[in-house]
Amino acid sequence: KGDWEDTRELMSTDRVTAMTTGLHGELLVTGTQDGDVRVFKSLNGERLRAWMGTVEVLALALSPNNRFLAASGLDQNLRLWDVQFGALLWSVENVK
């Protein structure tokens, strides 16, 4: 699980480099240049989850039911999280 934790308050000053919404727009997910990923409720902006990363996030995708979040970054790794529980389910390195 490494650097990907949801226990730290993330106050990123870096720019958003990736963004996605859920199928029906209930969630908004952002990824930043400094590697942070955040999940918000679209209706009120409440932050549900946050993970601290170390490299720029390039792409994000939510499953149709908003349960799973996939992310990739400049490190060429692909990660899959369970949004409900905040758990990193798997990570694949050097995806090309």
Specify the amino acid at residue 90: W
pTM of the model: 0.81
Calculate the average pLDDT of the chain: 86
d(CA 15, CA 32): 6
Q: Per-residue confidence at 11, pLDDT binned at 50, 70, 90?
A: low
How much is the average pLDDT of 66-77?
A: 93
Q: Per-residue confidence at 10, pLDDT binned at 50, 70, 90?
A: very low
